[in-house]
Chains A and B, each alone.
Chain A
């Protein structure tokens, strides 16, 4: 079953797309998983969620009742939420109870902040809990830069990403590594 546009380009932390994982689910269940699929915790966890989804959709397919128009959207939103719930980083809160944020939500905000710098295109962003401070994160942000990019502008990237983490999320960056991995013609 092909997935709709809402799931396209939705990357797991390991770099595989959810749609690709979905397409290969039958192969995995038939014992033809590749080495990555056998070892990767993100892919394995996504397989489990997608099996639940497949079970639900088969039950719905067997049901004669007409599904509500937004049911598919709700199911796909639930799949995305399931994936995002796996890697959470804590935020400070003065109230009783925890506040956590998905590493992928953090990554999206930081990529967006980097993209606001002229001549910079943010690519993969990895967010991990800091080993030294439980309320801070270590970030590795991979960038492509324009051919005429001013090298000093990397400092601007660093400033904007750090500012966005604090102002938009409430998160402190213990470490921010910028990796310039490609160059493009502006």
Chain B
């Protein structure tokens, strides 16, 4: 995703390029902090992609920000950002309410970090932990 920003002198433009892993990492961080979220859930392909990214970053001596469980999609024309998140919740809060809190938190975090507001944040709840009891 590319944003063009005016900069002095007024006639000169600079580009800020934001890639899907950045959106995914910002989203993952925001989602994981929402109360009631136990963990994000990567599938096999997501895990494979994540391990590849981790390996590349570690070669450079970097510790990559986690993106597992999040898929970010960027369109350039027209500009559009969509985020999909797979996660597990605790059974202590209502799942639908927690999922909506995740949608709001991710939308806010991505907008603040990138200036791009996601058109959709989709949440899939893959597990609800009930070890501590529900009722």
Residue A112 CB within 8 A of the other chain: yes
Q: In the complex, which residue of chain B has the Cβ closest to the Cβ of A170? A: B96
| Bound complex: CA A104 to CA B128 (Å) | 9
Q: A56 to B48, Cβ gap below 8 A?
A: yes
| Bound complex: CA A82 to CA B68 (Å) | 13
Q: B123 to A82, Cβ gap below 8 A?
A: no
**A interface secondary structure, majority:** helix
Report the interface size class on chain A. 35 or more
The interface on chain B, measured as residues whose beta carbon lies within 8 A of the other chain's beta carbons, has a size of 36
Q: B45 to A91, Cβ gap below 8 A?
A: no
Q: B123 to A100, Cβ gap below 8 A?
A: yes
Q: A96 to B120, Cβ gap below 8 A?
A: yes
Q: B130 to A112, Cβ gap below 8 A?
A: yes
Contacts of A97 in B (CB 8 A): 82-83, 103, 118, 120-123
Q: B100 to A88, Cβ gap below 8 A?
A: no
A78-B44, A91-B99, A168-B95 as given contacts; A101 in contact with B125, CB under 8 Å: yes
Contact residue among B83, B119, B124 (Cβ-Cβ distance under 8 Å from A102) = B124
Q: A164 to B135, Cβ gap below 8 A?
A: yes
Q: Which residues of chain A from 41 to 76 have any CB-CB distance to chain B below 8 Å in the complex? A: 49, 52-53, 56, 74-75
A95-B100, A95-B104, A96-B118 as given contacts; A108 in contact with B128, CB under 8 Å: yes
Residue A171 CB within 8 A of the other chain: yes
| Bound complex: CA A163 to CA B134 (Å) | 11
| Bound complex: CA A113 to CA B119 (Å) | 37
Residue A6 CB within 8 A of the other chain: no
Q: B86 to A85, Cβ gap below 8 A?
A: yes
Q: Which residues of chain A from 72 to 123 have any CB-CB distance to chain B below 8 Å in the complex? A: 74-75, 77-82, 84-85, 88, 91-102, 104-106, 108-109, 112-113, 116
Q: Which residues of chain B from 83 to 133 have any CB-CB distance to chain A below 8 Å in the complex? A: 83, 86, 91, 94-97, 99-100, 103-104, 107, 118-128, 130
A-side residues, CB < 8 A to B, are: 49, 52-53, 56, 74-75, 77-82, 84-85, 88, 91-102, 104-106, 108-109, 112-113, 116, 160, 163-164, 167-171
- What are 10 of the A-B contact pairs (CB < 8 Å)? A52-B48, A75-B44, A81-B42, A96-B120, A99-B96, A101-B99, A102-B125, A108-B128, A108-B130, A170-B97
